[in-house]
Chain A
Amino acid sequence: MGAYILRRIGQMVPTLAGVMLLIFVLFNAVGGDPALVLAGKITNKEQIENIRKQLGVDQPWYVQMGYFGFEVATGFTCTWRSFTEKPEPPKSEARADAKPEAKPDTKAAPKATPPSGCQAVRSWATNEEVPKILATRIGPTLSIMIPVLVLETIIAIFLAIGVAYVRGTLTDRMIMMICTVAMSISFLVYIIVAQYYFGFKWGVFPVQGWSDNFWKNMANYAPLPIMLAIFVGLAPALRLYRSFFLDEINSDYVRTARAKGLSENKVLLKHVMRNAMIPIITNVGIAVPSLFVGSFLLESFFSIPGLGREILVAVNRSDFPVIKAATVYLAMITMIINLMVDITYKAIDPRVTFK
């Protein structure tokens, strides 16, 4: 077991290197000159050159790659340049003359500069520290997505076992038909319509918003997005889980269990369920990493200050440091969760052995 985990962690290293390479190539080679993106309408060559120097894109590619690697290694809490070139003025001041229209408060010199001269990677758009942005945005996302995943899985499992039990009947076919139609309507339509009726017309929930108080959020602002996400996620989950149950429900061991006189409940909930749980766990495991990205659609519709919305905003503003950091972090989280899911198999299925 220990050896297995170690080996898996070892395998993560080349994958992570690949992710970093992909991100680096995408943003540094394909993405064009970031200075031009950042300068916007400024055409002054000197200023653009200044920004280029500031961002380090005037360096050869291998040096830039080194910067990026260093940033990843320090968790984006340190930029290599601020670490090595201490006497240089802080990044924010140089930005100030490059972009005079920026708000004065964003130009303020960093207050919490660590004594080592280590300075965090900052967002191009807001000059906030990237690790701080990500850390503050993850809370709202998780408080929406965790209830969604848990409730959706439980509801889908019990509905699916019921539908699988009455397989082939009119009820079964009707439900499957409804699922297919429900799945074909865009998520956007559900959100627009639900927000209009529940929020605007009937006033059951606030149309959008978020507060600093966790309990107020959960009672007021979260229920509508959570219910929407569950409603939309239910149809595909139900279809999938039903097929998992159908694979098991005709097995010999089910007949044996019935033959020895077990009650239907026991057959379904104990024998069939435990076997069908294995593909279900795989499926939930695949969904877990997307918890952290959150539903960026829900977050932007309901103004929830989550990670998904932050990434979307960053994409619209070409705020590369935020996207780069989010991608690398989330890739790491995904890999770790995948490993955890594989270990969970062992707890559920005693036949599983680690090679």
Chain B
Amino acid sequence: MRHPRAGGGPINYVIPPKSQRRSLAAIGERMRHPRAGGGPINYVIPPKSQRCSLAAIGERMRLVAKSSRAGGGPSFLRYCPRGASARKFSEEYVMSAVLNQPPSAPVAAPLHQPSPGLWTLAWRRLKRDKIGMTALVVVLFFLLLMAGSYMGLVAKNWSKEVGVSYANPSFMAGAENLEAAQAAQKDTSAKVPFVDLSDIDPLAPKYEEWAKRTAEIKITDTPRADTLLFGGDKWGRDVIQKAIKGAETSIFVGLIAALLATIIGTVLGAISGYLGGRTGDFLEWFYNVFTSIPYILLILAFAAVFKRGLDTIIFILAFTGWTGIYRLVRAEYIKHASREYVKAAQAIGASHTRRMFVHILPNVSHVCLVQLSQHVVQFIKAEVILSFLGLGVPVDSVSWGTMLAEAQSELVIGKWWQLVAASVSMALLVTAFSMLTDSLRDALDPKIK
């Protein structure tokens, strides 16, 4: 095996399989990835330029590099253990990683291309996945829509009554609209024939003054459109704008609630899986309590107690939906807690918190990401149902769920557009999100190359 430093001390090199012999990148990746596992620990010294990104390899590698640079013969690792137990590990783990490198050897690395990390590789795999990329584009489009609607760039006037009641979609302008006709008729019939009562009306002298004051107030009678692009609702609001505003609400609730649930699940799962013992037992009990109540019932019980509102529904979804994530993250942490790289981290004196969230977390973060995107889908669906039942968003805002609630009675009188607008936009987003989740899971699976 060729190496610029050939002739150096005994170095444990990984001999890559034939297919990967082109670059050392593959070795680098194996090294970074504790899950790739297997075999003796073999390390490659990273080039200077990469030294800051070494976190993934583990702090001990950085120390190895440092100590060998510091010079002084066969560089056994010099470190400052914080605890006595660290010393115990020094021989077992750290020394095996020491590279007996002559201090004078240049750290030149023409062969060391930047080795791709898990995320770079996953991104590469995702880029090759056509379905995944299409789904990603759709999801990003919806997210942009949400941001635009939040900042008031699109669908700002969703609550304006721009059309007649149940305005027809423009592609079926000819269809009759009984509701609008009826409303128009009511307007004209409301003008009752004038009867002169001025002799007995005590308010008569004031009429002139009032008429003058009324004239001062400008009344602009906005013409109401007979047709809207995709029809209007009962109050003549544009259904497309409503769907966009509804998307904002539903996606916002789904995203924030999923993010919160992932954080709760990950933190509790990490503590329970890593520490185990009494703390682990307590958290397991907590988990059992939440899972022994059927999920729907748990949500309803929470909804019964709290007041209605956007923040409440986010809290309810997050606080009842963390259990699945907890279970998976806990299992990952149990697996990782006994791995060598964690013990090595202990050897150099990393605290429990640092080991849990700086060393292990990057290695289980792909599980969290997949769970996050899965829960976004789940929570968007849940939000729609809760809002439909009137347990979700407040009345003055719109969500896909409230649109469906209106659509139920509209369908009976033949106004199908609001139902179609809400369900198609929701189906599009949820399909794209589920496909993206599947592609992400495949792309982040270290076993698939």
Contact = CB atoms under 8 A, between A and B. Distances in A.
Interface stretch (A38-46, A255-263, A316-324): A316-324
Contacts of A23: 301
B404 A188 contact: yes
A126 B304 CA distance: 17
B294 A293 contact: yes
B192 interface: no
A27 interface: yes
Interface string B375-409: 00100010011001111000000001100100110
Interface string A278-308: 0000000000011011001100100000001
Interface string B175-209: 00000000000000000000000000000000000
A234 B377 CA distance: 18
Interface stretch (B145-153, B234-242, B339-347, B429-437): B429-437
A18 B285 contact: yes
Interface residues of B, number: 44
Given A188-B388, A312-B389, A334 B294 contact: yes
Contact of A189 (B285, B423, B428, B431): B423
B93 interface: no
Contacts of B389: 300, 312
B306 A30 contact: yes
B268 interface: no
Contacts of A1: none
Contacts of B390: 316
Interface in B418-432: 419, 423, 426-431
Contacts of B412: 196, 200
A331 B419 contact: no
B215 interface: no
Contacts of A138: none
A186 B423 contact: yes
Contacts of B404: 186, 188-189, 192
Contact of B285 (A14, A183, A188, A327): A14
Contacts of A186: 381, 384-385, 400, 404, 423, 426-427
Contacts of A19: 289, 292-293
A184 B288 contact: no
Nearest to B389: A312
B305 interface: yes
B141 interface: no
Nearest to A15: B288
Contact of A293 (B292, B296, B305, B430): B296
A15 to B, nearest CB: 5
A188 B406 CA distance: 12
A297 B385 contact: yes
A330 B285 CA distance: 18
A314 B426 contact: no
Main DSSP-derived SS at the B contact region:
helix
Given A183-B434, A186-B404, A290 B289 contact: no
A26 B289 CA distance: 13
B300 interface: yes
B286 to A, nearest CB: 7
Q: Which of B293, B419, B435 has the most CB of A within 10 A?
A: B293
B357 interface: no
A18 B288 contact: yes
B303 interface: yes
Interface string A323-340: 100110011001100100
Contact of B435 (A22, A180, A193, A315): A180
Given A180-B435, A186-B404, A334 B306 contact: no
Contact of B427 (A184, A290, A320): A184
Interface of B: 285-286, 288-290, 292-298, 300-306, 377, 381, 384-385, 388-391, 400-401, 404, 407-408, 411-412, 419, 423, 426-431, 434-435
Interface of A: 14-16, 18-19, 21-23, 26-27, 30-32, 180-181, 183-189, 192-193, 196, 200, 289-290, 292-293, 296-297, 300, 308, 311-312, 314-316, 318, 320, 323, 326-327, 330-331, 334-335, 338
25 contacts: A15-B285, A15-B288, A16-B292, A19-B289, A26-B302, A31-B304, A181-B427, A183-B434, A184-B426, A184-B430, A185-B426, A188-B384, A188-B401, A189-B404, A189-B419, A192-B411, A290-B295, A296-B296, A296-B300, A308-B296, A312-B300, A320-B304, A331-B292, A331-B293, A338-B292
